[in-house]
């Protein structure tokens, strides 16, 4: 702490040029990173006329101020936001949970062939989304419904009379998308948890084994509570990934009533006359959930990354 008890100005004088320089650079950094966000928010609350008349980053006041774009964007996006949440939250939690369990099995418990499994899982991270689009659609729209329909009509044929058909509703498609995202997220989550678990003391796990804890009890009582910071990391990372994805959603959701936020955001762009205020409003609203996730899990996230 500074020894001075005087005014802020005298404190500033004491800090020296280096410090002041550092703060100036940091300040410039903040401005640099926040300008696009500020521009988006400023644009969102403008009329078309004000948008064309003023610089993008200057907020409109009085005449040019309007919330109509924001309201229209919100109206369009709202059902999508709900569907996105219904899809992204379970998908994220499932990825993190399965990733954590898999990593536990691959580090703390000893068995043959671990390395081969780890290699396979790591390979899974590098499969590009585009490469699996065709097999994925064939699976979810032909193979899987065919299998389930056949199974149900065979085993429960006395009830269905062979006429049961796989429900191809939007909600079912949303579940399918959720499972796809969960599965696609497991490899990276496993890898993240694995490196975290490798740092956990072997002696502690051995102590727990001597204490009589079973493999699952060790996970529940020791590994899981200790990996909460890592859960924050994977939850934030996975949520952002899944929530922002458009490609899988475009391919797997074809019911116009069940669309995730990213799909609905597309509706707000383009057209004959590009309405930038509407697009910006949509972008800001669609980005809110990921921002909130960072704010809520931020502290844990920092802990997980630092350890």
Burial string for 269-307 (b: 16+ CB within 10 Å, else e) reads eeeeeebbbbbbbbbbbbbebbeebeeebeebbeebeee
- According to DSSP, residue 83 is labeled H
* Biggest CA-to-CA distance, the chain: 89
Closest CA to 286 of 300, 267, 301: 267
Q: How far is the CB of 68 from other proteins (least distance, A)?
A: 52
Paired residues of 65 in beta bridges: 46
* Token pair for 146: 């065919």
* Token pair for 254: 């074809």
Considering beta carbons, is residue 58 or 213 the nearer one to other proteins?
213
Considering beta carbons, is residue 208 or 251 the nearer one to other proteins?
208
Q: How far is the CB of 215 from other proteins (least distance, A)?
A: 11
User: CB within 8 A of 31, min separation 6: which ones?
Assistant: none
* Residues 284/302, Cβ–Cβ less than 8 Å: no
Q: How far is the CB of 108 from other proteins (least distance, A)?
A: 13
Q: How far is the CB of 200 from other proteins (least distance, A)?
A: 10
* Token pair for 307: 């350890």
Q: How far is the CB of 299 from other proteins (least distance, A)?
A: 16
Neighbours of 54 (CB within 10 A): 15
Residue 120 exposed, middle or buried by CB count within 10 Å (0-12, 13-18, 19+): exposed
Query: Where does this chain bind other proteins (CB under 8 A)?
Result: 201, 203-204, 206-214, 217, 221-222, 225-226
Considering beta carbons, is residue 209 or 267 the nearer one to other proteins?
209
Cα separation, 118 vs 113, in Å, equals 9
Considering beta carbons, is residue 218 or 235 the nearer one to other proteins?
218
Considering beta carbons, is residue 61 or 199 the nearer one to other proteins?
199
Q: How far is the CB of 306 from other proteins (least distance, A)?
A: 16
Q: How far is the CB of 100 from other proteins (least distance, A)?
A: 15
Considering beta carbons, is residue 31 or 119 the nearer one to other proteins?
119
Considering beta carbons, is residue 30 or 207 the nearer one to other proteins?
207
Considering beta carbons, is residue 210 or 272 the nearer one to other proteins?
210
Q: How far is the CB of 110 from other proteins (least distance, A)?
A: 11
């Amino acid at each position: 702490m500074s020894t001075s008890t005087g005014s802020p100005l005298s404190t500033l004088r004491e800090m020296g040029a280096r410090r002041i320089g550092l703060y100036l650079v940091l300040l410039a950094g903040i401005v640099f990173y926040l300008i696009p966000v500020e521009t988006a928010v400023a644009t969102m609350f403008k009329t078309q006329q004000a948008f064309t008349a003023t610089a993008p980053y200057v907020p409109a006041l009085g005449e040019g101020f309007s919330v109509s774009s924001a309201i229209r964007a919100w109206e369009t996006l709202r059902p999508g936001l709900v569907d996105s949440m219904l899809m992204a939250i379970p998908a994220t939690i499932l990825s993190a949970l399965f990733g954590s369990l898999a990593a536990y099995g691959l580090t703390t418990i000893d068995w043959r062939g671990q390395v081969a499994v780890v290699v396979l899982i790591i390979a899974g991270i590098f499969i590009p989304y585009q490469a699996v689009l065709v097999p994925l659609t064939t699976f979810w729209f032909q193979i899987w419904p065919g299998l389930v329909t056949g199974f149900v009509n065979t085993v429960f044929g006395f009830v269905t009379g062979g006429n049961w058909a796989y429900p191809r509703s939007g909600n079912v498609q949303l579940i399918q998308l959720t499972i796809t995202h969960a599965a696609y997220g497991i490899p990276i989550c496993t890898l993240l948890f694995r490196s975290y678990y490798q740092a956990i003391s072997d002696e502690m796990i051995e102590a727990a084994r001597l204490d009589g804890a079973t493999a699952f009890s060790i996970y529940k009582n020791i590994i899981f509570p200790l990996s909460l910071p890592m859960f924050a990391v994977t939850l934030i990372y996975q949520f952002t990934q899944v929530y922002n994805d458009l490609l899988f959603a475009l391919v797997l959701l074809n019911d116009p009533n069940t669309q995730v936020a990213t799909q609905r955001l597309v509706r707000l762009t383009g057209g004959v006359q590009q309405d930038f205020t509407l697009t910006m409003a949509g972008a800001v609203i669609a980005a809110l959930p990921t921002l909130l996730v960072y704010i809520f899990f931020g502290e844990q996230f920092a802990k997980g990354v630092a350890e």
